Amino acid sequence: MQTRYIIAVFLSLWLHTVYALDPLPSWNEGANKKSIIEFVAAVTNKSNPQYVSPEDRIATFDNDGTLWLEQPMYTQVMFAISRVKTLAPQHPEWKTQKPFSDILSGNTKALANISHDDLEKIVAETHSGMSVEDFIKIVQDWLASARDPHYGRQYTQLIYQPMLEVMNYLRANDFKIYIVTGGGQDFVRAFAPQTYGVVTAQIIGTAMKTNYMFVGDQPKLIRQPQVLLYSNYSGKAEAIDLFIGKKPIIAFGNSDGDRQMLEWTQANKKAHLMLLVHHDDAKREYAYGPNSPVGRFSNSLMQEALKNHWRLISMKDDWKVIFPLDKK
């Protein structure tokens, strides 16, 4: 026990040295930054009534619009469109089949208003038939070469620096960081470990069914054109229980699909904090809300957020920089 005590003292001294520095340097001083820091201070302080033991320090983050950009279109949809073009020579029938024909003819107006069912058709055709590991390689290759049309940068560079700092800060305080995305679980697993430092087991998303089979003498999991579980809206709370089995104590979202995740967090009997990133920065990023088909932040979500005192993070006012490359 003596040695253990000495370790604890050294560890404690070392952590104090590290965190005497501002843990959220890209956040402007204000009520939101203060709320995060005070929450972390409270739940990690054993003599505080709000103390939460490390195994219950579950943090969940939405991905699209919360950790990285989602405008003018979700990155995974950009990927699916690119896949349709790549695979078109093997599918001559797509030339006359909607929604594939709209993609191949460049009918951007039709694509802007694409329905959920049509998106699902595209995903089913382009995201299945290969092994999980082959799919992840396809996504990684695409992410390495694709560029966002507005900034001309790789998508993995268009992540939010202030949110990276929140993830690091929580991690340093023994929180377990989960990504709970409405996007494809394997799509996000293809880049999030390297990009955010989150291991695959802590990346939860909409998942396709897979089938176990031998290809030659090696077992493979082959992706099927069938959704096993949706991780959006109510599906986020359901997936959190399925994968984690505990309610989060802190959750970050930005749109209607995150509502139930925040409600589920609010239902935690332990201390909890709910936050929504509000895209109100037309100059540095985008400003959008109830009328955006991508990342809709409806009026009813806003009402619920205000009623429940969920914190609204203003990109314009709270964040000094948006992307890591903007850091001085």
**Which residues bind to a copy of itself, rule: CB under 8 A?**
3-4, 6-7, 10-11, 13-14, 17, 55, 132, 176, 185, 189, 199-201, 203, 207, 210-212, 218-219, 221, 228-229, 234-235, 237-238, 241-246, 260, 263-264, 267
Specify the 3-state DSSP secondary structure of 276. Answer: strand
What's the min distance (Å) between Cβ of 209 and a copy of itself?
A: 8
What's the min distance (Å) between Cβ of 263 and a copy of itself?
A: 5
What's the min distance (Å) between Cβ of 172 and a copy of itself?
A: 14
What's the min distance (Å) between Cβ of 185 and a copy of itself?
A: 8
Indicate the residue among 21 and 201 with the shorter CB distance to a copy of itself.
Answer: 201
Q: Give CA separation, 327 vs 25, 160, 319, in Å.
A: 10, 11, 11
Specify the 3-state DSSP secondary structure of 138. Answer: helix
What's the min distance (Å) between Cβ of 97 and a copy of itself?
A: 31
User: Which residue is listed with tokens 């948006």?
Assistant: 322
Indicate the residue among 6 and 325 with the shorter CB distance to a copy of itself.
Answer: 6
Strand duo 250-253 + 218-229: pairing: unpaired
Q: Give CA separation, 92 vs 89, 105, 201, 256, in Å.
A: 6, 13, 39, 37
Indicate the residue among 87 and 207 with the shorter CB distance to a copy of itself.
Answer: 207
Alpha-carbon distance 125 to 225, whole Å?
7
Alpha-carbon distance 172 to 166, whole Å?
10
Q: Which one-letter amino acid corresponds to residue 23? A: P
The answer to whether the beta carbons of residues 104 and 95 sit under 8 Å apart is yes
What's the min distance (Å) between Cβ of 286 and a copy of itself?
A: 30
Alpha-carbon distance 157 to 148, whole Å?
10
Q: Look at phi and psi of residue 80 and say left if phi exceeds 0, alpha if psi is from -120 to 50, else beta.
A: alpha
Helix, strand, coil percentages, rounded to 5, for the chain: 45, 20, 35
Cβ–Cβ contacts within 10 Å for residue 210, how many?
18
CB neighbour burial string for 99-110, b if at least 16 within 10 angstroms, e if fewer: bbebbbeeeeee
Indicate the residue among 152 and 245 with the shorter CB distance to a copy of itself.
Answer: 245
Indicate the residue among 110 and 221 with the shorter CB distance to a copy of itself.
Answer: 221
Indicate the residue among 17 and 90 with the shorter CB distance to a copy of itself.
Answer: 17
Indicate the residue among 127 and 189 with the shorter CB distance to a copy of itself.
Answer: 189
What's the min distance (Å) between Cβ of 125 and a copy of itself?
A: 21
Indicate the residue among 227 and 302 with the shorter CB distance to a copy of itself.
Answer: 227
What's the min distance (Å) between Cβ of 260 and a copy of itself?
A: 6
